[in-house]
Each structure stands twice: as C-alpha cells, then as structure tokens.
Structure 1
Amino acid sequence: MLPCLNKQLFGVDCLGCGFQRAFVFLLKGDFTAAFKMYPAIYTIILLGIFIIFNFYFKFKHAYKLKMGLVFLNVAIIIISYILKITH
C-alpha cells in the first residue's frame, strides 16, 4: 500500500485515507468492511463505470448525471471525513 503523505507529515488523515484498503477489501469480497473503511468506495466505482461507458456510449443527460455523481461523492467523502475526525 502507498503511504499517505499527509498522514506522515502532519499526523492527520486526508480525505482519501482508507480508499486503497477499502478497494482491497472489495477485491477480497468483504463489502461491509470496504464500506466501513471508505464509505464513498461504491459511488466512486459507480462514477468510474459511468465515465467509461459514457466514453463509448453517449447519454442524453450525461453531464448532469456525471456532475450529480461527483457532488454525491464529494458530499459522502466530506461527511465521512468529519465523522471520522470527530469520533
């Protein structure tokens, strides 16, 4: 696993801390642990799949869907980060 530079330098988790471990849990089939490690893992994967499909197939409201998924991801990441720091 790649170490988090922010955590090494400042001792504080960054907004992306836990993504790699969550992805490994996902590959191992431990879906609950993946969600607990990084709650935005599923919406990030959904966004990635949508972007790949949109590259090959054009959707009518692709920009709106993409931006909606981006804002959803940002909201989940920020909320889970705040919860992680406060607890």
Structure 2
Amino acid sequence: MLPCLNKKIFGVDCMGCGMQRSIALLFKGEFAAAFQMYPAIYPLLLLLIFLGFNLFVKFRYDQVIKAGLMITTILTMIISYVIKMKIIF
C-alpha cells in the first residue's frame, strides 16, 4: 500500500486515509469491514459506476444525479473524517 504523505509529514490522517485498505477489503469480499475502514467507499463507488455508465447511456436528469452523488460522497467523507478525528465532542 502507498503511504499517506499527509500522515507521514504532519502526523494527521487525511480525508482519504483508509481508502486503499477499504478497496482491498472490498476485493476480499469483506463489505462491512470496508465500510468501517472508510465509510465513503460506497457513495464513491456508486458515483464512479454512474459516471462510467453515463459515458455510454445518457439520462434525462444526469446532472442532478451526478450532483446528488457528489454531495453525498463529499458529506460522507467530511462527516466520517470529523468523527474519526473526534473534532466534535
């Protein structure tokens, strides 16, 4: 696995820390462990699948779907990071 430069230099996890391990757990079929490692893996995976599928098939409201998936992914990343870093009491 590639080391996180942010964690190596500053000693603090970044918002992407755990993504590689989560993907490895997905390939092993350990879906719950993948979610525990990096909760944003499923919205991110859904977004990537939709973007890939949208290259070949155009939907009527594809911009709305993309925006919704992006917002969901970003919010999941931020909320899980805040919880992981215990910023909120």
Q: TM over 0.5, yes or no?
A: yes
Aligned to 1:24: 24
How large is the Cα RMSD of the aligned pairs? Answer: 0.9
Give the CA deviation at 1:63. 0.5
Q: The residue matched to 1:67 in structure 2 has which SS?
A: helix
Residues 47-74 of structure 1: CA deviation (Å, up to 9, x unaligned) = 0000011000000000010010000000
Deviations 1:13-49 (A, max 9, x none): 0000000000000000000100000001011110000
> After superposition, where does 1:1-87 map in structure 2 within 5 Å?
1-86=1-86
State the TM-score, normalized to the length of structure 1.
0.98
Give the 3-state SS of the residue equivalent to 2:3 in structure 1.
coil
Aligned residue-pair number:
87
SS where residue 83 of structure 1 aligns? Answer: helix
Which 5+ residue runs of structure 2 have no aligned equivalent?
A: none
Unaligned runs of 5+ residues in structure 1 are none
Distance 2:78 2:31 in 1: 21
> 1:82: how far off?
0.3
Counterpart residue identity of residue 72, structure 1: T
